[in-house]
Amino acid sequence: MMASDYTRLDRPPKARARLGKALVYLLLTFWALMVLFPFYWMILTSVKSYGAYNSEYIPMLYTLAPTLENYVEAFTAVPLADYLLNTLIFTVLTTALMMVVTVLAAFAFARLNFFGKQAAFVVFLSLMMIPSELVVITNYVTITNLDLRNTFTGLVLPSVTSVFYIYLLKEHFEQVPDDLYYAAKVDGTSDLKYLLKVMIPICKPTIVTIAILKVIECWNAYVWPRLVTDDERYFLVSNGIQAIRESGFGRENIPAMMAAVVSISMPLIALFLIFRKKIMAGVARGGTKG
């Protein structure tokens, strides 16, 4: 055996493991910074004064004179509050409607027996493959012809359907033991009451997860709202931010723009931090089942 082999053997394995660990943490921290930096930057910029920001040829990584004036500007110079309210209305309406449609359909597929169920389910499944880009064209024409542009009805209706969530919920409904259904039957429970009092409470975690995922989707909706609204009074946050960017505050007011971005992002980030486990589990499950 050569001397170098001995030295290699002598080197405590712990040192090598520690080096590996350090590299791993280095990588993880690097990516964490990549993710966090834009958030830091938007918050930082949003509290810099307009004057201070524009005088920094070399941007500063911190500020010593934080100000909230940009937030005042964001909420007064542009109807940011209206955008937020519109988005809230749109999100609540769409999610609520979708939940009703989804729960009823999933229940029918999971629990009820009726003629043509298998065929209907196959059709539903195949609809899962249809990209929204393909149907948005006709929907745009339909909504325009129905004179529903710049209305909440026009915004909400085509956004309601989600075949995937019906599928996901059906899978979960099916895991509820059959015996519970028969027990409820014997106890004189109607199908609807069974759905409301047994199925939904038992599957509440899944239902909440689906609702949250839909809320995220609605909050970030851009394409459809852009197509059917050109009246600022019906802008959602995505369209609002685009409008701010293009015609904005009358001048290129980056700090105020960032204040608007922070205001728009915060509700969802707060929702995420509250329901962190649920959301991540939901997305992971949705992902592996897709």
- Using CB under 8 A as the binding rule, the residues of this chain from 208 to 227 that contact other proteins are 216, 219-220, 222-223, 226-227
What CA–CA distance (Å, rounded) separates 154 from 133? 17
* Binding positions for other proteins, 146-165, rule CB under 8 A: 157-158, 160-161, 163
What CA–CA distance (Å, rounded) separates 257 from 45? 9
Q: Is 189 in the site for other proteins (CB under 8 A)?
A: yes
Stretch that binds other proteins, among 2-10, 68-76, 88-96, 235-243 (CB under 8 A): 235-243
Closer residue to other proteins, CB minimum distance, 3 or 278 = 278
Closer residue to other proteins, CB minimum distance, 49 or 189 = 189
For the bound state, the minimum distance from the C-beta of residue 48 to other proteins, rounded and expressed in Å, comes to 12
Closer residue to other proteins, CB minimum distance, 76 or 144 = 144
Helix intervals (H) in 195-234:
200-202, 204-219, 223-228
Stretch that binds other proteins, among 2-10, 64-72, 88-96, 133-141 (CB under 8 A): 133-141
Q: Per-residue contact track with other proteins, 22 to 41, x per CB under 8 A? A: --xx-xx--xx-xxx-xx-x
For the bound state, the minimum distance from the C-beta of residue 64 to other proteins, rounded and expressed in Å, comes to 18
Helix intervals (H) in 128-275:
132-145, 152-156, 163-174, 178-186, 191-194, 200-202, 204-219, 223-228, 237-246, 254-274
Q: Is 120 in the site for other proteins (CB under 8 A)?
A: yes
Pair of tokens at residue 36: 């966090």
Pair of tokens at residue 277: 């486990």
* Binding positions for other proteins, 245-274, rule CB under 8 A: 245-246, 252, 254, 257-258, 260-261, 264-265, 268-269, 271-273
- Closest by CA to 75, choosing from 240, 239, 270, is 240
- How far from each other are the two terminal CA atoms of the chain, in whole angstroms? 56
Pair of tokens at residue 124: 């539903």
Pair of tokens at residue 80: 């940011």
Q: DSSP state, 193?
A: H
